[in-house]
Structure 1
Amino acid sequence: MHRRVRSINTCMTASEIRQQFLDFFAAKGHIIVPSAPIVLKNDPTLKFTNAGMNQFKDYFLGNKKPDHARVADTQKCLRVSGKHNDLEEVGIDTYHHTMFEMLGNWSFGDYFKKEAIEWSWQLLTEVYKIPKDQLYVTVFEGDAKENLAKDEEAYNLWKQFVPESRILLGNKKDNFWEMGDTGPCGPCSEIHVDCRTPAERAGGDGAKLVNADHPQVIEIWNNVFMQYNRLKDKSLEPLPAKHVDTGMGLERLVRVLQGKQSNYDTDLFMGTIHETEKLTGKTYEGSDTRKDVAFRVIADHIRAICFTIADGQLPASNEAGYVIRRILRRAVRYYFSFLDIRKPLLHELVPVLAAQFAHVFPELQQQVDFVKKVVYEEENNFLRTLGQGLERIEAAVAELGAATVINGKIAFELSDTYGFPLDLTELIAQEKGLSVDKASFDIALKEQKDRSRAATALDTDDWTVLDENAAVKFVGYTQLIANTHLTKYRKIKSKGKEQYQLVLATTPFYAESGGQVGDTGVIEVGDEVIAITDTKKENNLIVHFADVLPAQPAAPVVARVDVVNRKSTARNHSATHLLHAALRQVLGAHVAQKGSLVNGDYLRFDFSHFAKVTDEELSQVENIVNDKIRENIPVVIEELPKEEALKMGAMALFGEKYGDVVRVVVMDPNYSVELCGGTHVAYTGELGQFKFTSESAVAAGVRRIEALTGTQAETWVNEQLTALKAVKVQLKNPKDLMKAVEQLVAEKAALEKQIEVFEQEKVKQISAQLLGQVSNIQGVQFIGAVLEVNNAEALKNIALALKPQFNSNYLFALVANVAGKAHVTLLIADNLVADRKWNATQIIKEHLAPLIQGGGGGKPNLASAGGQDVSKLDAVIAKVKELL
């Protein structure tokens, strides 16, 4: 990597460069639209926005007509897999990132190749003034296998601006863009910039370095010309309308315009890097050392972490949440390993980042305290986990004996359980003069990926279109029955189960969205009645799931929503609005919705709050909600321009993408006004009753409440009263129930203390008896016995009670039948572990646990096992003797 230049040799900041792009395309008739959230919803193919085109997919698929034919934007994107975006490579090179901004200009059936090419060249060379002799362009060379011709149109257009020696032909891999295995696609034309020094450029042809992963010859702009649709059989058909999808990474553009050798040397990252220098006392030099890689990893990863949390995705142990947790943990282990920082660091960078992007992505600044708290807790938890992982590594090393290679399965366990990446395990092993068997690690990793892929595999047929002109119309706010027809359908297969996805021209079925589950019900096609098991959104489509396809798909359809389930769901959804307002009233204005689940049975509501909600606070909230129910407030719903709705105080959820016109749900304008697309009751009195059932923590700074309304609330209350009555009967109907329960608890605690004393006495007695059963086997003092004890812990206590009676050269094997389960404890003298390399865990796992059909583990000197076969207890003792 080239040496970093610390000063910025240009008057243009990243903010100015971004604004120039937007201003340029606004002057070309483009409407500037805001970035979509980085966390994707209603798209089963993606967890995160990974390209600028994601929010416009419906336009390309023909599911929705665009409001504007020309738009431009800057889009927050996240990529942690795929071409050039392996997470483990980010920070090592100069120009790849997890989170990045994609500047884009879009044409939906309007202009095409001529304007896209002309304007991209004009902006780069005339506005940004990048020297023309540093630019190369690529054009699709064609593909004989697919009968795709060379993109002569783009080639000839480029000849007006670029010498032919700088127009390079690219293959299908580099110059044919596809949305996925199926869907819109087309040739693309990239612009690459040669950032080498003049001397380097004079010494070698830059054309040979294009698309060759050279760190200084990089793609800066991609013009995608969408003109085909890829079908499941891999064939291509022309799209009815041609579109332009362009993308330019802001980070690379700023690097070029600020004359830097690395994206990290620009003002997009240097503020974070300078703050990290202050916090760590270390200096960033811009080299390839692990220390400087750590600085870059932190500067990159904190952006991905913060913007995804701000948009609604909390770190978690699965799916999208695990992606964020993995990114955060990678940053932690870099500062832990290479900056020698042992306390949380990343959270201190959140305010710096929030202030930097406040003018373009204000959602982070608006939630800075919340995001900071979440990041801190995640860091703190992982630093503790790192300590546990280091203990596991030490145990693994102790188990090696004379061997020098750590089994790859152990390395995978460290990665999977403790978040230890392979390279960290290899680094620690290297420091101890050891190595890791990477082949067995790769096998374990592949097995996990195969399991995960099989669990989520979805095989989708092409759509069979019955009505090309019908636009999906949802009427379910006002009616639960509709006369309609199918516009298209397809078969899908997931986990071996076949289903059909049906799209209706007009539908009363609410599609899962905003936490509210999708409607169920039936469709009637002639005499045929078909159950609709779920309704979901796929981009802008409302997709109905059915186990069978109508015998006559083109026949008229009557769609009927399950009325009882819908009304129960609506009650619970309206209750979340009343609950949200009450929480803000009792706990404070910092409370914001962080997730919800609303179905016909109950409601679940997640919200930002940094402490457990006390019983008193819960009681206050519950009383407020029930007061509002008894007031029987009319629920007023109207559609308004978004700005007007926000001015009247409507609450919008972070991470949601709202259109220009929004649906506003009002339950008393002085109490609850929210933007919401869900279904609701007409009057709050329809809720009947509201009752909390639980309050708990979900993540750092996020609490969860579960509650019931209507008949479910009444049933729950009655069940609690019945249970309370039964308790009174058991306690012989005391006058003061609480006093009776407290007395019972006190008596139980006293009895447990007595039992503990008896157990300790029993341990002493058994230990004394066992001292008379010591035998000498090959110079080792051995005690092996089948004991009668009440729990497995007693075996360990007896072994530890025996230990002080021996200085060295001892081994105890104690077994017992506890409640029909076999238990084994093995204790080995420390000198035998050190000198003879004996290992209790290894003996347990390899020799003893298999005998009792179980498993176990522990430390080199003390290990235990549990199993199903109690008939083999004597065999366990015999096996230990044999080993001795």
Structure 2
Amino acid sequence: MRSQDVRKQFLDFFASKGHLIVPSAPIVLKDDPTLMFNNSGMAQFKEYFLGNGTPKSTRIADTQKCLRVSGKHNDLEDVGFDTYHHTMFEMLGNWSFGDYFKKEAINWAWQLLTEVYKIPKENLYVSVFEGNPDENVPFDQEAWDIWKELIDEDRIILGNKKDNFWEMGDQGPCGPCSEIHVDIRSAEEKALVSGKSLVNNDHPQVVEIWNNVFMEFNRKADGSLEKLPAKHVDTGMGFERLCMALQGKTSNYDTDVFTPLIEKVEQITGLKYTSNEVLNISEEQNKTNIAIRVVVDHVRAVAFAIADGQLPSNTGAGYVIRRILRRAIRYGFTFLNTKEPFINQLVAVLANQMGEFFPEIKAQQQLVTNVIREEEASFLRTLDQGLQLLENVVAETKGSTVSGTKAFELYDTFGFPIDLTALILREKGFELDEAGFNAAMQEQKNRSRAASEVSTEDWSVLIPGNLETFVGYDQSESDVKITRIRKVDSKKDGVLYQIVLDNTPFYPEGGGQVGDKGTLVSANETIEIIDTKKENNLILHFAKKLPENVNAGFVAKVNQDLRSLSSRNHSATHLMHQALRSILGTHVEQKGSLVNPNYLRFDFSHFAKMTEAELQQVEDFVNARIQEQLPLVERRNIPFAQAVQEGAMALFGEKYGDEVRAIKFGESMELCGGIHVKNTAEIWHFKIVSEGAVAAGIRRIEAITSDAVKAHFASYENTLNEVKAALKNPQDILKAVHSMQEENAKLAKQIEALVKDKVKNLKAGLIAEIQEINGVQFLAKQVDLNPEGAKDLAYELGNLGNNLFLVLATADQDKPMLTCYVSKELVAEKNLNAGQVVRELGKFIQGGGGGQPFFATAGGKNVAGIQQALEKAIEFVR
């Protein structure tokens, strides 16, 4: 059965049971501060389990893209070494929100597996929760009785809290679960060892494929449990493992989910992957297999994350994606002998394979390919640099053990993988101080953990059952009551209070726009709101203190000055997006944005640096729309499909509901939930302040509007006045500058001529100082020249004859520089390399450099080290 058919049959089955089929949410979470990525099928439905929203159907089914590489669920280091863990995986799920419960969930799961998919019943085991007296949660008798009607009792296993009580996190909805495990071992193996004994014992062919979670409790901050007002079902079935069972394989990687990718890697590298069916695999082949599994798994995670809008970066979710990709590159570099970018070539295979069901990977194929290619090239350069730095570390090491602290510096500062460090050291006959490395790593983790520690109390509910209403599109003030509060204590921000209101004019951070600030005012006090965010469909108002009387009536007042500035920047962002698509082409798509009161930042897909003319065209386009005084045309609660059909732009990686809000200024029409001006005239003026690259195929523009533009022009005027004063207030400033440039050019030519004369004069004297050592003409000398003069002198001396090894030092403007020249015959015959020479000698001047084997330079900052470097140079020819 093809994997596409497996997916379709699951969705068709639950559609027949009255379930609404919904698309996968993006793999990257943008509006949930508690998670970086969707790490389970239920993540997009959290608000319904918490009672903070109403689902469009009480029965839903889907397949969700998931990523487990951080936090509680972290499978990254297992990936590649076994055959059933993945970074990205699909979670097939069916959901009941207060509708059916255990009986239907268990019976339908059994029906689908045994009657539709026709998995033999004798290959299946199930588990139920054994109970936990400490928490007053009894044995799940109901689930046991239901399973007893479907399967022999000796195939029902009692599971403990770790295996059979599922929790969203330290707090929140949770409940007992019933897992279904499949035994895909051979008949001979089953005869020798019962599959029942292998359940939940990490056996690669006795694996969990489905988990039915019965949500009926809420975990409170103090660890206690309370009953939820309604009972829910949350199920998840691993798509890749299911395909393994249905396709008669013993490894997920032998299914058609992965084989097309594996075949492409084989084609690129010339190496062969060995199926899990093959016995007695050599150690070398096993390393190849692991590396190929790492690559084909990781490219899926990285490609879908980029398609959903998360670019690799050095912070947050972007760092996680970069780390996954670099792990794949490193395995290819070390075990597949790939020294050039190659992983990007797998994107086309992936798009062809999964594009029908996940159209985002097809639509974003070129961008994903470009970003991965550039990341590969960059990290391969880092690996090359790391190898050179590791050589320096080895050279400085006394004894046979390399410092773990030094290895950690390579890992932490340059991203050089520790396992590669250990491998290279072993090849060179050195050992790694692993304890020292682990200690340095743990110290960093402790610092990071301490900085991010957060303690969150339970909600204190003042007005039960009340869901707040956002009124901020129409008003900036509102009479409100506080419905719930909780305290949050973090190392980063200290103690803050999160306040939920019955209605609010405060816009919560989202869609790139920062959250509103303002005040809550009662008859007796004023509470400052320092930020507004959204979490699980609740709008949270952050304050440093609580009102003395939380039951009082308040007026919620948005800081209108800050909101007005943000709205101008947000509306200008829409106009700029339209301008870019008009001027550069419709391939331009938004890939990220930030809108705050001070400026706007906009990331977009484009393949080349924008020219000055193009930037001016964008400015002119936006300012023309401002001059036209276009009114805001806002449409709320229109069907998503209708809005897109009418021309509204939807962004990849954003999660849209069935009903959306469309914002239109003239011909610019986008789906957006942010705050906007009523008329483009309010923006006043638009000015681009910078344009640059973020990643391959991604550019970034930063721009300003309104008051910031006025301040910008005022600053330029002040600078112009200062330049004018420095030039003695000429009538024509441009003419004065051109005159100064001409005079400077004349002086530069005069200096150049003087340096050449000086080189000629020095040359004659230095020839006499050259000495012969072991057949090499050697000279190491400090000269009173600038670096360019030293280069000219080196070539002048080099042209006089053969076998010259020359090191010149300069200290022009107190900046030490070493210049090394090696005759080409010495490079070939004596294995002398100018690049290696300056890297070694550069240490004495606290610097480094490089170049070609016959000519290289190194700069530094320690002039006092020049003499020692020159004295050391002679050792290269002795």
Q: Are 1:400 and 2:400 matched, yes or no?
A: no
Aligned residue type for 1:219: E
Q: CA RMSD of the aligned region, Å?
A: 3.9
Q: Deviations over 1:598-617 (max 9, x none)?
A: 11121111111010111111
Q: Which residue of 1 aligns with 2:700?
A: 704
- Provide the C-alpha distance between the structure 2 equivalents of 1:139 and 1:796, rounded to a whole number of angstroms: 78
TM superposition shift of 1:49: 0.7
Q: Which residue of 1 aligns with 2:290?
A: 293
Q: 1:686 aligns with which of 668, 682, 685?
A: 682
Q: Are 1:721 and 2:717 matched, yes or no?
A: yes
Q: Which residue of 2 aligns with 1:63?
A: 52
CA distance 1:233–1:76, change in 2 (3 Å) = same
CA distance 1:784–1:344, change in 2 (3 Å) = closer
Q: Are 1:148 and 2:133 matched, yes or no?
A: no
Q: Which residue of 2 aligns with 1:503?
A: 500
Q: Are 1:665 and 2:667 matched, yes or no?
A: no
TM superposition shift of 1:686: 1.8
TM-score (norm 2): 0.87
Q: Which residue of 2 aligns with 1:653?
A: 651
- Provide the C-alpha distance between the structure 1 equivalents of 2:273 and 2:742, rounded to a whole number of angstroms: 61
- Structure 1 residue matching 2:173: 3-state secondary structure: strand
Q: Map 1:231-246; keep pairs closer than 5 Å.
A: 231-246=220-235
Q: Map 1:78-97; keep pairs closer than 5 Å.
A: 78-81=67-70, 85-97=74-86
- Provide the C-alpha distance between the structure 1 equivalents of 2:647 and 2:139, rounded to a whole number of angstroms: 55
Q: Which residue of 2 aligns with 1:7?
A: none
Q: Which residue of 2 aligns with 1:323?
A: 320
- Structure 2 residue matching 1:52: 3-state secondary structure: coil
Q: Which residue of 2 aligns with 1:600?
A: 597
- Provide the C-alpha distance between the structure 1 equivalents of 2:301 and 2:427, rounded to a whole number of angstroms: 32
Q: Which residue of 2 aligns with 1:254?
A: 243
Q: Deviations over 1:270-305 (max 9, x none)?
A: 111122222223222236622222221121111111
CA distance 1:17–1:86, change in 2 (3 Å) = closer
Tell me, which stretches of 5 or more residues in structure 2 are unaligned? 277-284, 771-778, 851-855, 873-878
Q: Deviations over 1:570-627 (max 9, x none)?
A: 1111111111111100000000001111111211111110101111111111111111
Q: Identity over aligned residues, as a percent?
A: 55
Aligned residue type for 2:337: D
Aligned residue type for 1:708: I
User: Which one is further off, 118-127 or 140-149?
Assistant: 140-149
CA distance 1:765–1:515, change in 2 (3 Å) = farther
Aligned residue type for 1:531: E
- Provide the C-alpha distance between the structure 1 equivalents of 2:366 and 2:439, rounded to a whole number of angstroms: 42
- Provide the C-alpha distance between the structure 2 equivalents of 1:322 and 1:457, rounded to a whole number of angstroms: 19
- Provide the C-alpha distance between the structure 1 equivalents of 2:187 and 2:94, rounded to a whole number of angstroms: 32
Q: 1:421 aligns with which of 414, 417, 431?
A: 417
Spell out structure 1 runs of 4+ moving beyond 6 A: 756-774, 783-791, 793-805, 810-819, 823-827, 839-845, 855-859, 862-868, 872-877
Q: Are 1:582 and 2:571 matched, yes or no?
A: no
CA distance 1:863–1:141, change in 2 (3 Å) = farther
Q: Are 1:453 and 2:453 matched, yes or no?
A: no
Q: Map 1:538-687; keep pairs closer than 5 Å.
A: 538-639=535-636, 640-668=638-666, 671-687=667-683
- Structure 1 residue matching 2:709: 3-state secondary structure: helix
Q: Which residue of 2 aligns with 1:38?
A: 27
TM superposition shift of 1:27: 1.1
- Provide the C-alpha distance between the structure 1 equivalents of 2:583 and 2:848, rounded to a whole number of angstroms: 49
CA contact (8 A) 1:109 1:243 kept: yes
Aligned residue type for 1:263: N
CA contact (8 A) 2:394 2:402 kept: yes
CA contact (8 A) 2:106 2:212 kept: yes
CA distance 1:717–1:431, change in 2 (3 Å) = same
Q: Which residue of 2 aligns with 1:9?
A: none
Q: Deviations over 1:221-277 (max 9, x none)?
A: 011111111111111111111111110010000111000111111111111112222
Q: Deviations over 1:657-689 (max 9, x none)?
A: 000001011112xx2111000111112222121
Q: Are 1:515 and 2:512 matched, yes or no?
A: yes
- Provide the C-alpha distance between the structure 1 equivalents of 2:124 and 2:745, rounded to a whole number of angstroms: 80
CA contact (8 A) 2:487 2:495 kept: no
CA contact (8 A) 1:467 1:488 kept: no
CA contact (8 A) 2:790 2:819 kept: no
TM superposition shift of 1:748: 3.8
Q: Map 1:165-204; keep pairs closer than 5 Å.
A: 165-204=154-193
CA distance 1:866–1:696, change in 2 (3 Å) = closer
Q: 1:410 aligns with which of 369, 385, 406?
A: 406
- Structure 2 residue matching 1:329: 3-state secondary structure: helix
Q: Deviations over 1:153-181 (max 9, x none)?
A: 21222111121211111121111111111
Q: 2:348 aligns with which of 347, 351, 355?
A: 351
Tell me, which stretches of 5 or more residues in structure 1 are unaligned? 1-11, 775-782, 850-854
CA contact (8 A) 1:399 1:842 kept: no
Q: Are 1:443 and 2:446 matched, yes or no?
A: no
Q: How many residues align?
A: 849
CA distance 1:800–1:661, change in 2 (3 Å) = same
- Provide the C-alpha distance between the structure 2 equivalents of 1:283 and 1:864, rounded to a whole number of angstroms: 44
User: Which one is further off, 352-361 or 281-290?
Assistant: 281-290
Q: Which residue of 1 aligns with 2:776?
A: none
Q: Are 1:23 and 2:21 matched, yes or no?
A: no
CA distance 1:757–1:189, change in 2 (3 Å) = farther
- Provide the C-alpha distance between the structure 1 equivalents of 2:416 and 2:762, rounded to a whole number of angstroms: 43
Q: 2:265 aligns with which of 276, 285, 288?
A: 276
User: Which one is further off, 748-757 or 760-769?
Assistant: 760-769
- Structure 2 residue matching 1:542: 3-state secondary structure: strand
Aligned residue type for 1:613: M
Q: Deviations over 1:57-97 (max 9, x none)?
A: 11112222222111010000111146784423212211111
- Structure 1 residue matching 2:514: 3-state secondary structure: coil
- Structure 1 residue matching 2:69: 3-state secondary structure: coil
Aligned residue type for 1:435: E
- Structure 1 residue matching 2:408: 3-state secondary structure: helix
- Structure 2 residue matching 1:530: 3-state secondary structure: strand
- Provide the C-alpha distance between the structure 2 equivalents of 1:816 and 1:721, rounded to a whole number of angstroms: 40
Q: Are 1:49 and 2:71 matched, yes or no?
A: no
Aligned residue type for 2:642: E
CA contact (8 A) 1:635 1:666 kept: yes
- Provide the C-alpha distance between the structure 1 equivalents of 2:782 and 2:499, rounded to a whole number of angstroms: 65
Q: 2:386 aligns with which of 384, 389, 394?
A: 389
TM superposition shift of 1:787: 11
Q: Which residue of 1 aligns with 2:373?
A: 376
User: Which one is further off, 184-193 or 482-491?
Assistant: 482-491
- Structure 2 residue matching 1:692: 3-state secondary structure: strand
TM-score (norm 1): 0.87
User: Which one is further off, 248-257 or 234-243?
Assistant: 234-243
- Provide the C-alpha distance between the structure 1 equivalents of 2:553 and 2:112, rounded to a whole number of angstroms: 53
Q: Are 1:121 and 2:110 matched, yes or no?
A: yes
CA distance 1:864–1:650, change in 2 (3 Å) = closer
- Provide the C-alpha distance between the structure 1 equivalents of 2:434 and 2:481, rounded to a whole number of angstroms: 57
Q: Are 1:466 and 2:435 matched, yes or no?
A: no
- Structure 2 residue matching 1:502: 3-state secondary structure: strand
TM superposition shift of 1:105: 0.5
Q: 2:528 aligns with which of 531, 542, 547?
A: 531
TM superposition shift of 1:493: 2.8
Q: Deviations over 1:419-465 (max 9, x none)?
A: 33222222222222333221111111112212222222222222111
Q: Map 1:791-870; keep pairs closer than 5 Å.
A: none
Q: Deviations over 1:6-56 (max 9, x none)?
A: xxxxxx211111011111111111111111100001211211111111101
User: Which one is further off, 757-766 or 656-665?
Assistant: 757-766
Q: Which residue of 2 aligns with 1:5?
A: none
